[in-house]
A and B are shown apart, each in its own frame.
Chain A
Amino acid sequence: AQSVTQPDIHITVSEGASLELRCNYSYGATPYLFWYVQSPGQGLQLLLKYFSGDTLVQGIKGFEAEFKRSQSSFNLRKPSVHCSDAAEFFCAVANPGGFKTIFGAGTRLFVKA
């Protein structure tokens, strides 16, 4: 069965510091991979997605993620974090042949001014 693990429940970084949020998945082949962000009072919003091809994908708001097949990982990164990035981040996978998207439990990002 597909699963998604986000090992960090919460992370705190200083404003201007770099960020990496970890995501590992379990799936037989290469699934579709996504990162969503959920800000307080806002709905979930797609940051970026990976289907195939270049393993480094760029998203909105300066985020990027790298797919590493050998590690079954799809970690999210940002070179310099801003206070406005404080939110909950969800990694998700979907079976290309199916209809279900599986979300991880989320990582809450706190940003210190």
Chain B
Amino acid sequence: QKEVEQNSGPLSVPEGAIASLNCTYSDRGSQSFFWYRQYSGKSPELIMFIYSNGDKEDGRFTAQLNKASQYVSLLIRDSQPSDSATYLCAVLSGNNRLAFGKGNQVVVIP
């Protein structure tokens, strides 16, 4: 079983709509969860982190964590063309190392 799974294919959303991304993880003991944005050819950029069950909002981004179901999600409200990127879910494992999912590509259509 993969540590972190992001199974959805590329997501196309119209400008101004909500993009919704999901991620599941295998280690029930995980406590810290992160969303990174990665533009093509660039490095991962931290956009959200969440440690407690429930929702956490930061600007147009909302992270949701459900530890009982072992999933994390990211909502992007009022999607902009500049949000077009790959979004990486990461879980803190072991001795503070990050385990990444393979990412979900988001394309915002003007």
Q: Are both chains from one complex?
A: no
Q: Which residues of B contact A (CB under 8 A)?
A: none
Q: Which residues of A contact B (CB under 8 A)?
A: none
